[in-house]
Amino acid sequence: MIKSAKDIGIGIIGVGIMGRGHALYLSDYVKGGKVVAIYDANQQTAQKVAKEVFKKTKLLPKVYDDLSTLLEDQNVKAVIIASPDHLHANHLEQAILAGKDVLCEKPLASKEKDARKVAKVVRNSKSIVGIGFMRRFDRPYQDLKREIQSDKYGKVLQIRCTSRNVSSPTATTSMLLTNVAVHEIDIIRWLLNEEIVSVGVNFAKTTSRANSNLSDPISVNCHTESGVLATIDICANSTYGYEVGMEVITENGSLVIENLGQLNIAYNFKLPTRKGGTLHKDWMGRFKPAYIAELTAFVNSLQKRKLDKNFATVEDGLAASIACGIGVKKL
Ligand SMILES: NC(=O)c1ccc[n+]([C@@H]2O[C@H](COP(=O)([O-])OP(=O)(O)OC[C@H]3O[C@@H](n4cnc5c(N)ncnc54)[C@H](O)[C@@H]3O)[C@@H](O)[C@H]2O)c1
């Protein structure tokens, strides 16, 4: 997509799988915003992604070799943070102090104390800050929320989630909470408008593919304020494909999001028609429409100077980090 001089300049911090994805989706699909700067600890990676952006937009983003110089660039009005989890809080704080608006990838922080500290900085600023819990922009989860709120199916009693990654060579058991289950924890809070009050972990027999710091698979179990039980079954080395699913069991029905991105409702003795299909190798394929919707909502938020209502706020990010922290303490 060719960009115009009026488009809002966005800098990307960290252009691995996710940051590159944001840079390319922003370049291809999102009107009103353009990638003008990139910083990654790996300069080669940064240069490569800058060239890819140029191919799409005819605009070559500036590549910086440190974060503070990117943040001094007056053409950078907002940043997307897609660096590793443990750096988010620090990068977000620096971006806020430089007066930038921010789309910060999940999690807000890997540690509760960092999440609390940066949330305070955000609260005391005028910046627009959204957290990258993109499932809130995914159509099936939006359909599911609408159906739950319709009251047609009665109260929600239990939620069963599955989360599978093809392989996770550097994952640790605590990352299965702070990096993986954090998505489900956020979406459960959003679906039910309730806080998570307890988090526990059950261990399974560990796959031979797990590294020595990882117990895989695990089952995370949580209770919400009103007593809904949510289980999140995570397998980080599934080998067979990337899969994310959810069943919401209510008094009168079963509402299921299948991996292919569709909501199926079993209700009143009627079964949904289930489609076949292929598994994605990772999240970029399954959630592509959600990432594009999220980026579009971010640029709209910058134009209107008001965070889009679908975005997770810094308070949501903090709540998810606190809940994950409860689980990590149980390990
Ligand atoms: N919302 C989602 O669906 C989703 C999906 C995947 C990843 N993520 C999140 O995005 C972030 C990045 O994940 P990824 O899969 O792209 O990881 P990745 O390892 O592919 O990319 C991380 C990048 O950050 C760079 N980096 C490392 N240290 C840095 C530093 N000090 N400053 C700047 N850059 C630095 C690395 O060189 C690398 O290019 C993580 O926080 C992850 O949790 C979110």
Q: Which of 28, 103, 25, 49 is nearest to 292 (CA)?
A: 25
**288 by DSSP, 3-state: which?**
helix
Neighbours of 216 (CB within 10 A): 23
CB distance 306 to 128 below 8 Å: yes
Nearest C-alpha to atom 20 of ligand 1 is from which residue? 16
Nearest C-alpha to atom 13 of ligand 1 is from which residue? 18
Q: Is 106 in the pocket of ligand 1 (CB under 6 A)?
A: yes
Return the domain boundaries, the chain. 8-135+288-312, 137-286+322-330
Question: Left if phi > 0, otherwise alpha if psi is -120 to 50, otherwise beta: which for 23?
Answer: alpha
Burial class of residue 52 (count of CB atoms within 10 Å of its CB; 0-12, 13-18, 19+): middle
CATH architecture under which domain 8-135+288-312 falls = 3-Layer(aba) Sandwich (3.40)
CB distance 274 to 258 below 8 Å: yes
Query: How far does residue 154's CA lie from ligand 1's centre (Å)?
Result: 40
pTM of the complete model: 0.95
Distance CA 34, CA 26 (A): 7
Q: Is 43 in the pocket of ligand 1 (CB under 6 A)?
A: no
Nearest C-alpha to atom 19 of ligand 1 is from which residue? 16
Query: How far does residue 84's CA lie from ligand 1's centre (Å)?
Result: 4
Query: How far does residue 172's CA lie from ligand 1's centre (Å)?
Result: 16
Q: Is 105 in the pocket of ligand 1 (CB under 6 A)?
A: yes
Query: How far does residue 1's CA lie from ligand 1's centre (Å)?
Result: 25
Distance CA 186, CA 196 (A): 9
Q: Which of 195, 161, 198 is nearest to 181 (CA)?
A: 161
Task: Per residue of the chain (331 residues), give pLDDT as tens.
Answer: 889 989 999 999 999 999 999 999 999 999 999 999 999 999 999 999 999 999 999 999 999 999 999 999 999 999 999 999 999 999 999 999 999 999 999 999 999 999 999 999 999 999 999 999 999 999 999 999 999 999 899 999 999 999 999 999 999 999 999 999 999 999 999 999 999 999 999 999 999 999 999 999 999 999 999 999 999 999 999 999 999 999 999 999 999 998 777 899 999 998 888 777 778 899 998 999 999 999 999 999 999 999 999 999 999 999 999 999 999 999 9
Which residues fall within 8 angstroms of residue 184, CB to CB, at 6 or more apart? 161, 163, 220, 230, 232, 246
Q: Is 165 in the pocket of ligand 1 (CB under 6 A)?
A: no
- Residue 310 sits at φ, ψ, to 5 deg, of -80, -15
Q: Is 132 in the pocket of ligand 1 (CB under 6 A)?
A: yes
Which residues fall within 8 angstroms of residue 124, CB to CB, at 6 or more apart? none
CB distance 168 to 235 below 8 Å: no
Q: Which CATH class is domain 137-286+322-330?
A: alpha beta
Q: Which of 24, 23, 32 is nearest to 3 (CA)?
A: 32
Query: How far does residue 151's CA lie from ligand 1's centre (Å)?
Result: 39
The distance from CA 144 to its chain's CA centroid, rounded to whole angstroms, is: 18
Which residues fall within 8 angstroms of residue 276, CB to CB, at 6 or more apart? none
**Residue 267 token pair:** 């209700």
Query: How far does residue 16's CA lie from ligand 1's centre (Å)?
Result: 5
